[in-house]
Amino acid sequence: MKFTRTSIPDVVICEPKVFGDHRGYFSETFREDLLFDFLGFKIKFCQDNESMSSKGVLRGLHYQLAPFAQTKLVRAMQGAVLDVAVDIRKGSPTFGKHVAVELSAENKRQLLVPRGFAHGFVVLSDTAIFAYKVDNYYSPENDRGLLFNDPTLGIDWMLEKDIFQLSDKDTKQPLLENADLFDYNQSLYE
């Protein structure tokens, strides 16, 4: 497995080795030991989630506050998405900046999004099945979000805005300046 730090070094692209032949392919999509070797500490994932969405569905930007903050390891099992992580750690040198990575069933890339980041994705293909591992359980009371089109974030979602499909909740999220945030000194992964 290959690990690559992005322009925000705490957000990591994970690329598994894929072994294919005339029968199809095989790939190890997660190896705790290799991730530990790269990061220097373990992440204890406790829940797997999956969603199916059609083109233009935009889910996000979501996060959970402590003590239920989550690290996510995300991937597209079918189709393609633009996956986005926004640094919402007050005092961070990359505060308010984002990383956007195309994840697809074809490229097999995954994105490791640590605590202290808002996360979202938009479906670029006709449909997509999106999976993610998290290291903390969902807590409705700690669920928060940012408005996906906050102009201060400058996110190019790669699709015309008239085809976006959003939940009612995601159309009413606050701007970054009004959001509940993390402190840069809080632990990212523990």
Task: Please report the domains of the chain, with CATH numbers, ordered by start residue.
Answer: 46-183 (2.60.120.10)
pLDDT score at 187: 63
pLDDT score at 185: 82
Q: Is 68 in contact with 140 (CB distance < 8 Å)?
A: no
pLDDT score at 189: 57
Q: Is 141 in contact with 88 (CB distance < 8 Å)?
A: no
pLDDT score at 19: 92
CA 52 to chain CA centroid, Å, is 15
In the annotation, is 132 catalytic? yes
The model carries a pTM of 0.94
pLDDT score at 188: 65
pLDDT score at 87: 98
Q: Which residues of the chain have pLDDT under 50?
A: none
Peptide bond into 67 cis (omega under 30): yes
Sheet holding 80-87, edge to edge: 98-104, 80-87, 117-123, 58-64, 143-145
β-pair type (18-21, 12-15): unpaired
Which amino acid is residue 57, in one-letter code? Answer: V
pLDDT score at 190: 54
Q: Which of 132, 137, 138, 189 is catalytic?
A: 132
Q: Which of 25, 62, 63, 184 is catalytic?
A: 62
